[in-house]
A and B are shown apart, each in its own frame.
Chain A
Amino acid sequence: MTVPALKAKDYKSGIKAVWCPGCGHFAVLSALTKAMAHLGLVKEEVAVVSGIGCSSRLPAYIDTYGFHGIHGRALAAASGLKAARPDLTVIAAGGDGDGFSIGGNHFLHACRRNMNMAYIVMDNEVYGMTKGQASPTTLPDWSNSKMTPHGTGIPSFNPAAIALAAGAGFIARGFSGEPSELTRLLVEAIEHPGFAFVQVLSGCVTYRPDQKLWKEEVHPSESDLPTDDPVKAAQIIQAGDGKATGVIYAKQFPVWQPENRTDSKLNTIEKEFLL
C-alpha cells in the first residue's frame, strides 16, 4: 500500500501568521513547504529551529517539530539538536538581525562546523519586530530609523562573503518574489550534505517600502554558477550587487557529526577510580 504523497499545504500548521499583509516571508513559508513536499519529508522527522524576529516565527506555521528559541541562538539550538539527533532533518531559519548581528558568532562557527543542516535567512535589511531599526545588512545611508537618524554610517554586512570565508560549503541567494526558484534553492540546500546557507531577499512592506523596487533589481546570476572554486566564488560575490539569485557556491566538505558509539559501560568506566 502506498501512502499518498503529502502536498505543500499538508506541511502548514494552520496557525495564523503575525506577519503584515504583503510580507515577503509568506512566500518563504510557502516555498519551504513546497520544498518539503517535493522531497517527501516525513513531517515528524523534520525540526525547524529559529531565534527571535518576524521571520523567526516561521516554525509555528509549519506542521513539523519546531523550536522557537531566543534571539540569535537558532544555529546553536539547531546544532545541538542535530548533534544529538542526526536522524532528523534540521532546518534553521531567521532574519538578518538574528543571524548576522546578535547571532553572528554562531553563524561563523556553524559555517565552519559544517553540520548537515540548512539555514534560511530572510533578509529584509531591517529589524521589523522592534519597529524599524537598521540591521547589519542595512546600507550605511538609510536614515529612516530614529535610532540612527543619520544612517548607520558603517558598511553593510555581506552574508555570502562571510559565509564563504567562514567555510560554508553551500551558499545561495533567493528572492521571495521568485517563489519557484526559491523552492528549488531550498530543495538543493536541504539535500546538500553539510551546512547550506540560503540568503533570501524577503522585503519588509512596513518599514522598507523601498524594497518594492527589488522586483526590478533582483536578477538571476549571470555567470556559470554554482562554482566549487572558492576564489571564483569570492570574486563573484564581491563584484556582485547582492541582488543576483541562484546557487553561488557548492562544494562538499567533511560533515561534522559526533559518532555515537557504544563500546563500554558506565560501571567499567568507573573502575578507573579504584586504587
Chain B
Amino acid sequence: MSDSSKQATSQSYSVAITGSGGSGAVTTGRILLEAAAQCGFQGLMTRSAGPQIRGGESAAMVRFSQDPVECMGDEYDLLVGLDWRNIERFADELPLSDKSLILSDPAAGEVPALLRSNGADILEVPFKKFASGLPGGRLNMVALGATALVCGLDLKALETSVKAILGNKGEGIVETALLAVRLGYNHDHRPRITLEAPGKSADHWSITGNQACGVGALRGGTRFVAAYPITPASEILEWLAPRLEKLGGSLLQAEDELASINMIIGASFGGVPSLTATSGPGLSLMVEGLGLALVSETPVTVVNVMRGGPSTGIPTKSEQSDLNIAIYGLHGDAPHLVLAPLSIRDCVFTTQWAVQLAEHLQTVALVLSDQSLGQSQAIIKAPPQRELSLARKVEATPDAEYQRYAITPDNVSAMSLPGTAGGMYTADGLEHNPRGTPSSMAVDHRTQLNKRLHKLEDFDFGEDWADVEGDGRQCIITWGSSTGAVKEVAGWLLAQGSSIKIISIRLLAPLQHDRLKDLLKDMEKVLVVEQNHAGQLFHYLHAEGVLPVSAESLAQPGPLPLRPGRILRALGGGG
C-alpha cells in the first residue's frame, strides 16, 4: 500500500513527548490528550518508562482522531523533545518519517542524529528561554503550548485541561502553567495540521484500561477484592479500594497472591462476588487456588494484566504471553473461562461479562488484559450499560434432599450460602459426590468431571465470544490488545477497495469451535496475529483443530507495540 492511501484513511495525529526523569513528559502528554478530548476528539495515550521509581527517562505517546483510537500508528507525526538525555533508550519505540516534525529547544542541543536520519523536519522553539522568563515557569508547559498549536488544538480547550489536570497542585502553579502554555502557544508558528475538531462530546470518558477493568468489575457485581500489589495491575486495586467501600464492598490487601486468591474464594463461598487482579508472577502463584475454586465450584474472577515474561520479565511493558498459562496452567482436567478485552473501552464489558459468567457458571474466569491497555489513557465514547441476565444460582430454601453438586440439566447446581438453614455442606478441593462428600470413586470423578466440563461446553455464550467484522476470502484472527492494530489494517484495506474479515476473540476458552470453523470455511488466507514470541494463540487454535493447514502466524513479542504496517506486510500487502 502506498503512503497516500494510508493517509486517506488516517484521520489521526500522533505525538510523542520525551524527556529525562522529572521533565514532565507524561503530564504534558496527559494534558495534550485531554485538550484534544475537550475539542471532541477520541484518543489514546500510552507511556514508556524505565524501571526507575523516580527519575529516569520517560515518554508519552498521544494519538487522537475523530474516530476511536485503539492503537498507536506506524510512525509519529510530531516528536517533542523536552530534552534529549537518554533518548537512545526510546528511539526504537518512536519511528519517524520524512513527513514527521521534531519540536526541539535549541538550548537542549542539537537533535540527535538517530532521530534526524529519516529526514524529519525540525522546528525550534526556545522552551527553556520562555520558561525562564516566568518565576517557577516550567519548560514542559511551554512545550505543551507549542505542541497544541502545531496540533491545531484550541487554546481555550488547552487551558481547560491545564486547570483540570493541575488543579489540585494549587492556584499559583496553575496560573504559572497557563502563562507558560500561552507563551508556547503564541509563538510565531502556524498549526501544521488541521484535523476538523468534532466539538466537545457530553458522553466521552477519559479512562485507563485498568480503571475500565475496575468499572467492569463493579458493573458485574464484584463487591470483594483481595489482592497483592504488582506492576502493571496495581491501579485496578487502587481505583477499586475507595469505590468498593462506597458500594457496600471492600478490598483487602493480602500478604501475597497465595492469600489473595484463597481470600476471594473464601469470600465468594460466603456469597459475595469476588475478584482479584494481578500480573504474570502473581497468576503463577494463584494457579493452585484456581483449581480449588474450579473444583469447589466457587466463582472467582482474576484479571491478569500481562507484562513481558517469563519470570520477572519486563514488568513495565506489555506482552500477550500469558495465554498458555491461562488456558493450560492448571493441573488436572480443569475447564474454565478465559477472556480478553479487545480495547480499553472493552475492558468494561469484558470484565463485567467475566464476573457474571463466573457467577452464573460457578467457575473461574481469567481476564487477560495487558500493560498496553491497563496503563494507557483513552478518550472513548462512554461504554453503554449492558444488563446481562447472568447470576449465581442460589438455593434459598434447601430441603433434606439438597445436594450442593447435584447433576442438573445445565450442570449448574444451586449453591447454598452460609446463613441458610438446612443447606450446610463442606466445599472441597477433593473430588466429591453430588452431596459434597469427598470421594475417590471412579464414578464420582467421572460424573463431576463431566459436570464441570459440560456446564461450560453446553452454555450458549451468544455473539459476544468475538468481534467479527468485514468479509472476503482473507482473514485475520487476533485477540486482546492486538485487536486495535489489526482493525486499523482492515480500515486501510477497506479504503483501498480490498476486503478482509477480522475475528477478534474475546472468549478464548471454552473455544467456540463451531462458530470459528463456520467463519473460516472457504478462507484462502488466514493470519493469526498476537504479541508474543511463541505464537500461543496460533498453536492453541491448531491444537483445537479450527485452523486450515495453510494458516500463518504473526507473533511478535513485546515490548514494542504491534504496529499496523507490520501486520500489513505479514498479509503480503507491502506497505
Q: Using a CB–CB distance below 8 Å, which chain A residues touch chain B?
A: 13, 15, 43-45, 47-49, 59-60, 63-70, 72-73, 76-85, 87-88, 105-106, 108-109, 258-266, 269-270, 273-275
**Closest chain B CB from A128 CB (angstroms):** 16
Instruction: Report the Cα distance A60→B247, complex, angstroms.
Output: 34
A274 to chain B: which residues have CB within 8 Å? 202-205, 382
CB distance from A272 to the nearest CB of B (A): 9
Q: Check: B425 CB closer than 8 A to any chain A CB.
A: yes
Would B429 and A70 count as touching, CB distance under 8 A? Answer: yes
Question: Within the complex, what minimum Cβ distance (angstroms) separates A68 from chain B?
Answer: 4
B125, CB-defined interface residue at 8 Å: no
The docked-state distance in angstroms from the alpha carbon of A68 to that of B437 is 11
A189 CA to B263 CA, complexed, in Å = 22
* Shortest distance between the CB of A4 and any CB in chain B (Å): 15
Query: Which of B34, B248, B427 lies in contact with A262, CB distance below 8 A?
Result: B248
Is B305's beta carbon under 8 Å from chain A?
A: no
A81 near B270: Cβ-Cβ < 8 Å: yes
CB atoms of B266 and A77 under 8 A apart: yes
- CB-defined contacts of A270 to chain B, threshold 8 Å: 215, 382
Given B204, B218, B226, which contacts A83 in the complex, CB threshold below 8 Å? B226
The residue of chain A having its C-beta at the shortest distance from the C-beta of B246 within the complex is A264
Interface of A is mostly: mixed
Query: Which residues of chain A are near B379, meaning CB under 8 Å?
Result: 275
The 4 closest A-B pairs by CB, nearest first: A80-B263, A66-B426, A258-B250, A80-B266
> Which single member of A47, A84, A106, A258 contacts B245 (CB below 8 Å)?
A258
- Using a CB–CB distance below 8 Å, which chain B residues touch chain A? 34, 37-38, 200-207, 211, 215, 218-219, 223-224, 226, 243, 245-252, 254-256, 258-272, 274, 288-289, 291-292, 296, 379, 382, 418-430, 437-438
Interface centre among A49, A84, A266, by most B CB within 10 Å? A84
Query: Hey, which chain A residues are within 8 Å of B262, CB to CB?
Result: 69-70, 73, 76-77, 80
A72 & B428 in contact (Cβ 8 Å cutoff): no
- B382 proximity list for chain A (CB < 8 A): 270, 273-274
Q: How many angstroms from the CA of A256 to the CA of B194 in the assembled complex? A: 57
For A263, what are the chain B residues with a Cβ–Cβ distance below 8 Å?
246
Chain B residue contacts of A106, Cβ below 8 A = 255, 258-259
Chain B residue with Cβ nearest A266: B218
Sampled A-B contacts (6; CB under 8 Å): A43-B424, A70-B291, A79-B252, A84-B224, A88-B418, A260-B249
Report chain A residues within 8 Å CB of B428: 60, 67-68
Whether A84 and B424, one on each chain, are in contact in the complex, defined by CB atoms closer than 8 angstroms, is no
Tell me the nearest residue of chain A to B160, going by C-beta: A275
Report whether B207 and A273 are in contact in the complex, using a CB–CB cutoff of 8 Å: yes
Beyond A45-B418, A109-B259, A275-B37, whether A68 also contacts B427 by CB under 8 A is yes
**Cα A85 to Cα B246 with chains together (Å):** 17
Q: Are B274's CB and A84's CB within 8 A?
A: yes
- Interface centre among B263, B291, B419, by most A CB within 10 Å? B263
Q: Looking at the assembled complex, report how far the CB atom of B527 sits from the nearest CB atom of chain A, in whole angstroms.
A: 35
Chain B: minimal CB distance from A35 (Å): 18
Give the residues in chain A near B420, CB-CB below 8 Å: 44
A66 to B248, CA, bound (A): 25
Smallest CB-CB separation from B204: which chain A residue? A275
Nearest chain A CB to B431 CB, angstrom units: 12
User: Is the pair B422, A273 in contact by a Cβ cutoff of 8 Å?
Assistant: no
Q: Are A81 and B255 in contact (CB under 8 A)?
A: no
Known: A258-B245, A259-B245, A275-B37. A80 touches B265 (CB 8 A): yes
Other-chain residue from A65, A76, A87, A264 in contact with B258 (beta carbon distance below 8 A): A76
Chain B residues near A261: list those with CB within 8 A. 245-246, 248
**Complex Cα–Cα for A80 and B418 (A):** 14
Q: Shortest CB–CB separation between residue A55 and chain B, in angstroms?
A: 14
The CA of A83 and the CA of B267, in the complex, are separated in Å by: 7
Shortest Cβ distance from residue A138 to the other chain B in the assembled complex, whole angstroms: 24
Complex: how many Å from CA A77 to CA B34? Answer: 43
Is the Cβ of B437 less than 8 Å from the Cβ of A84? Answer: no
Distance in Å: Cβ of A131 to nearest Cβ of chain B: 17
Name which of B248, B249, B252, B422 has the most chain A CB atoms within 10 A of its CB: B252
Q: Which of B203, B266, B270 has the most C-beta atoms of chain A within 10 angstroms of its own C-beta?
A: B266
B250 touches A65 (CB 8 A): no
**Nearest A-chain residue to B207, judged by Cβ:** A273
**Chain B residues with CB under 8 A of A269:** 218, 243, 246-247
A66 to B266, CA, bound (A): 10
